[in-house]
Each structure stands twice: as structure tokens, then as C-alpha cells.
Amino acid sequence: MMQSYTYARIKKSIGGVIVKNTVPRLVKGDTVGFVALSSLVEPEKLGEALAFLDELDLRYKIGDTINAKHDYLAGSDEERLADFHAMVKDPEVKAIFCVKGGYGSARIAGKIDYDLLAENPKIFWGFSDLTYLHGAIHEFADLVTFHGPMLMAASKMDDISKKMFLQLFTPMEVQYTEMISPLTAIAPGVARGQIVGGNLRRLVSTLGTKFEVRTESKILLIEDIAESIPRIDSMLQQLKQARKLEQLAGVIIGSFTQTGADEAALLTLMTEYFAELGVPVVAGFKIGHETTNIAIPLGVDAILDAQEKVLRILPGVH
């Protein structure tokens, strides 16, 4: 699943590319920050997240947004923006963990000081609604971010998902094979490119904005929860009409849970959209809203091999 590599071996394994936009690794004893940039948090449930950080031998600072409330949001836009900027500016904070998704990150994306983040590079971790900020940070701060489970759900993570946090401490090539989950090749081929994407609904919501997802020569990751097959069809159609599927390098289909349909129906739909693109497409990755949620860096080079059914991703830290 994860292998520690020398840079020479990484270069040999993935075409001689060393990613320059990686972020500094964590060291045991480092301090990390907790923020809520989306929906309202139940702070009484924070205990399991703190306990998990104790297991990782990390210290923590709890942002003001953990206890903030503004309607359905974890504080007003100004409060959430200020909390994020405070964590970016704080020299003691080496990583920023978003504790909950839902909705809200898009509301602050246009006000974030991306130059400040580029000048103070640090780990940014989250998924689901945070897809919006992953793309924004890649585009405007040119930094790798991490698509991984929220710490508020630490007790629901299985062991393999918890082990994925180790990639934050040591540069490791993430290797996803069928040892983790059965994979289905929808279209053959081998591709190399940067991984982008995340939650399908949030990706579609970027269209027509300055944060519009850029897919040219990229390996696109998609996942979602509680969307019906017709809704997924509609969102894929919107990506297609926006010409976001035309110049892809490859497609990683993650977890689509609570669709109200069986996996065969989902696979049929994905085949309709992706089988004839002429790029490798593989489904079945446990990346998304499930107990197994394999964390991966976004914005780094990867190789997707549909023949061997393997995904290899460069480290996100240095």
C-alpha cells in the first residue's frame, strides 16, 4: 500500500519526475490545527479526533470555528476565513485538518490569501466539501493537498485508513492495488499525470467560476455520497458538456455510496461516459465516503495502469 522510497527510486519508478509543490513533512511532537470551514460542528464529538492525534504523537490547536455557529455553518464566512488564515500564519502549526464537510468552503474560496499560503506551505487535509478548496489551493498557491477522511470520524476509520496518515511523516509512494479492494478496468491503458478532483458534486459546482476544475492531461478522481444514478448522470453530463472529459489522462472512480442502486447500475453509467475516451479508467477505489477511505495527495504525479490495476502516486511531502 505505502512504500518508503529514496528519491532516486521514485524517479526511476515514475518517469524521473520529482514534484516541486510538495509540503514539509510532519515530525512527531509537531502541532497541527483543527478548523471547520464548512458545516456546523458538534464539538462534544471532537474527543475521538484528539485521541487519534495522541496516537500519532501530535499536539494540536483547536480553531475558533470548532465552537462557532452561524445558521448551518461553523461560523460566519469572516470567522471561518479568519480561522483558516490564523492557522496558516501560525509558525507552530504544521498541518491544517478540516474536521467536517457538508457545505461552506466555496463561500470563502474567493477571499483566501493564497500568496500567504504559498509563503507558509503546510499540510491541508480533508475531503468531500473541501474538494472546492483542494482545487483552489492547487491553482492559486501551487501546493499539494491531501484528500483524506475527517478526523471527527476517526472511530469509524478502519486500520488501513488510519495507516494512510503515516504518509505525512515520511515521503512515501502510495500504491493502490487489488490487495485493498477489487478494481474494475472500464477502459485499458497506462497514463501518467497529476491527480485532481474529489467530490463530484463540488467539482461540478466549480464550473463557470475562477475555481473551475482543470482536467487537461490530468488523472481525474471522482466520488460522492447520497446521489441517485440520475443525479450522477446529470453531473457527469455537465462535465461532458463543459468539455472537461475531452483531454483527460485517466479516470479514478472512487466510492459512490447511498446511490439507491446496485453497483452494476453505477458501473454501466460510468462505462457510458468513460469507456470511449481513449484513456485508462479504473473503478472500485475505496476513496470517499466509506469506512475504508484511502487518503491520497492531490496535485502530484501518478501512474494509473488499467492492465495491472494499480495506481502509484508520488509522495505529497518532502
Q: Are residues 210 and 301 in the same domain?
A: yes
Q: Would you say residue 10 lies in a domain? A: no
pLDDT of residue 60: 97
| Residue 43: CATH number of its domain | 3.40.50.10740
Q: Are residues 164 and 204 in the same domain?
A: no
Q: Are residues 43 and 88 in the same domain?
A: yes
Q: Would you say residue 7 lies in a domain? A: no
Report the chain (318 residues): mean pLDDT per 10 consecutive residues: 43 47 97 98 91 96 97 98 98 97 98 98 98 98 97 92 98 97 98 98 98 98 98 98 97 98 96 98 98 98 98 97
> Is there a contact between 65 and 126 (Cβ–Cβ < 8 Å)?
no
> Is there a contact between 132 and 213 (Cβ–Cβ < 8 Å)?
no
Q: Alpha-carbon distance 25 to 23, whole Å?
A: 6
Please give the positions annotated as active site. 128, 223, 289
Pairing, β 281-283 against β 250-257: parallel
Domain that holds residue 105: 23-170
Q: Are residues 43 and 152 in the same domain?
A: yes
pLDDT of residue 20: 63
Q: Would you say residue 189 lies in a domain? A: yes
Provide the angle, in degrees to the nearest 10, between the axes of the packed helices 263-274 and 229-241. 10
Domain boundary among 151, 170, 189: 170
Q: Are residues 178 and 166 in the same domain?
A: no
Q: What is the 3-state secondary structure (H, E, C) of 205-236?
A: HCCCCCCCCCCCCCEEEEEEECCCHHHHHHHH
Q: Are residues 157 and 201 in the same domain?
A: no
Q: Are residues 272 and 146 in the same domain?
A: no
Q: Are residues 111 and 180 in the same domain?
A: no
Q: Would you say residue 29 lies in a domain? A: yes
Q: Are residues 179 and 278 in the same domain?
A: yes
Q: How does 260-287 read in b/e, with b if 16+ C-beta sit within 10 Å? A: eeeeeebbebbeebbeebebbbbbbbbb
Domain boundary among 170, 199, 227: 170
Domain boundary among 155, 170, 185: 170
Q: Would you say residue 152 lies in a domain? A: yes
| Residue partners of 162: CB distance under 8 A and separation at least 6 | 52, 154
Q: Number of structural domains, the chain?
A: 2
* Amino acid, single-letter form, for residue 146: F
Q: Are residues 104 and 39 in the same domain?
A: yes
pLDDT of residue 45: 86
Residue that the C-alpha cell 443525479 belongs to: 231
Q: Would you say residue 263 lies in a domain? A: yes
| Residue partners of 2: CB distance under 8 A and separation at least 6 | 163, 164, 166, 167, 172, 173, 174, 175
Q: Would you say residue 49 lies in a domain? A: yes
Q: Would you say residue 285 lies in a domain? A: yes
